[in-house]
Structure 1
Amino acid sequence: MNNKRKLISEVRECASEIPEEKLQEIQLSANGQEKCCKGIVIINGLKFGIGGEGTNHGKGVLGFDIINRANEKPRVIVTYHPSLITEEIIEALGIEIPPLYGGEKA
């Protein structure tokens, strides 16, 4: 395993909820018979996943927990690698990066 791959594999995952005021749009397109990475999730106009053209393929994002209950506003929790996620994604989703990874900017 090369050093870059080893370093990436040792990075810890983080999770952050998208603030209610930042959550404008949620779309999910997935085949229930395939892995989630083959579908597309669109949040606030940004495409995640490998299922379509022009998607950003994650940009440091590992996945989403989408909580959708009839009597509540939707909630989305983003799981990501703090050292790999882009500034564009951080700003668009309104998530905070832990201080160890430069969170003072978020």
Structure 2
Amino acid sequence: MARSGNGFDVEAYERLRRALRRCAEAWAGYDAIPREGANVLVDVFPATETNAGLYEGEAADQVRDAAYELHDLVSACVALSDVRLWHRAKAAEPHGVLEHGNPA
């Protein structure tokens, strides 16, 4: 998108956004995602946000804004549903007691 210092590639950015949305949809029902996917996701925000330093003014803001939007899309890729989180927390609590002493 901007790594080369040649400006913001809107087409590449849109392709990445679509790919991340597809991953989020495909992985929504899974408790774990493929390791290869996780490996790429880990670097999306820092790689994009760091490149904002190659630019000044509005161009830098555009890259930084893209980094934060991609961060949100990455979060959607690895998000767990509230129901699964509740079941996982319930299973982890000793003696069937959830947080704040409420019985399970």
Q: Which has the higher strand share?
A: 1
* TM-score, length basis structure 1: 0.26
Q: Which has the higher helix share?
A: 2
Q: Which has the larger radius of gyration?
A: 2
Structure of higher RCO (CA pairs closer than 8 Å, 6+ residues apart): 2
